[in-house]
Amino acid sequence: MNLPHWLLTVGAVSTSFTSLAVTPQPDPQNPTGYVLLRSEVIASEQAQTSDPMYAVWANALATAPNSAVDLIDAGAANNPSNVKRAERVFPRSEWDFLTQMAAPEYTYQRFLQAIGKFPAFCGDYTDGRNADAICKRSIVTAFAHFSQETGGHIAIDNTWDNPLALEEWQQALVHVREMGWSEGQPGYTTGCGQNDWQNKRWPCSPNQGYFGRGAKQLSYHFNYGAFSEVMYDGDATVLLNNPALVADSWLNLASAIWFFLTPQAPKPAMLHVIDRTWTPSQREVDAGIGYGFGTTINIINGGIECGAQNKDKGQPVNRIRYWEGLSAHYQIPIEADETNTCWQQTPYGSLNLNGATDVLYTNWEASWKYHADRPGGVSFECNLVGYQTAYSALVPGDYEKCVTNFFGSHANWPEVRIVDVIDGGTGGGTGGGTDGGTGGNSGDTPVGVITWEAGITNVNVGETVIHNGKCFTAKNAPGVWETPTQSNWFWDEVACP
């Protein structure tokens, strides 16, 4: 499984960290730059992500390798345990019952593959929670939203278009592409090509359209890029270059599972509302936000569908009707503290949670706090914020990228390089082996090959590096954080000399 490196250490990190300390030094290789000790940078990151919820998020977003996902099929003896649970509580007969109008690109096998990619979906619990019941509720919740996002919306008495007299909540997954769009049409390219951090991280490909595809109708390049990073070991270019995969492969359902498991801080992950891992903050409680299906609407589309002004609006009324029909059919109990609606909730986009001490955030931004003991008073650190930035606390290596301003998102930020050792000294024992970092190579480095180190090694096109015992040749100029781990847009794996 792929996990952020801090998941492995968060249990040992003290939550009593009251201050952070990095000691920037002049960079001997750059007269206008500075170097930071990697061990101090890691300590800064870990101090800010020591709350156990960060480990929960990491577990939820852990992924199985695609090679294992490819082997998943209904009834296969070697299916992962979470897939077997999904088959048990939602067998093929139930899938067929809810997908009689579905597009052929959606299949039960692909549904199971999407679940198998994310072991936390329909996963186990060790604290007495009923994993089967949570799995069933998660699937039914997903189908309620599928029915709104990609459903047929045909009345049961419309016998011409609905000859089987299907309930509207039985009409999920009718559309695999957004209506009015087809492959080969450039579109949804707003912002593409601009000189900003979103395009540096997730560059649009020429003549591609990033319109809605799949069960959740994934849209826009920054969402295709982020999803591609999760699905392809950090490589954003796979789906940016070929977004049609989100319609024509098992990614059409995996994209929805990914959204289901991903917190959009300060919004929680939908799974953690359902399984109650999440506890609403006091400000959320005061804004009417708590447990129940209504909060999942707020997570998906609160700005348009939640609040008193949207009480009778078509979209939320439909979602609630679909959920109530599905939950009644599948006999899912509604607890006393759960609310199906969100008209009584403040939309998350209108809820100011900045400064709340009981809210966690998942995006890094440069800390602009003044430090008199550091060059120029600059912090040389990043802190967590409640809005989208170039760097996510849930993506391994993003904190170091934030500190070095890898995507140029912090105006007037000093030039920073991260090293394991400063001036021949020691690195404090925690600098090596970070995710995407300098885990070291076994044996002598071959002649003409560069030992690759994260944040340090700059190579030109055609040069060869060695990392973790494997050699890679740069085919497009990689940055110092483009880890050579597989053949991708930046690297080709080659035989070592």
266 preceded by a cis bond (ω within 30 of 0): yes
Least Cα distance to 85 among 113, 61, 121 occurs for 121
Question: Positive or negative CA dihedral for 266, 353, 190, 407?
Answer: negative
Pairing of strands 415-419, 391-392: unpaired
The per-residue DSSP string of 357-419 comes to TT----EEEE-----TTSGGG----EEEESS--SEETTSTTHHHHHHTTTT--STTPPEEEEE
Q: Per DSSP, which regions of 427-490 are E strands?
A: 450-451, 464-467, 470-474
Q: What is the DSSP letter of 34?
A: E
Cα separation, 242 vs 56, whole angstroms: 31
The one catalytic residue among 149, 229, 284, 400: 149
Q: Is residue 284 annotated as part of the catalytic site, yes or no? A: no
Q: Which residues of 344-380 are buried (b: 16+ CB within 10 A; e: fewer)?
A: ebbbbeebebeebeebbbbbbbbbeeebeebeeebbb
Pairing of strands 25-27, 30-37: antiparallel
Three-state DSSP class for 222?
helix
Pairing of strands 470-474, 491-494: antiparallel
Residues serving a catalytic function are: 149
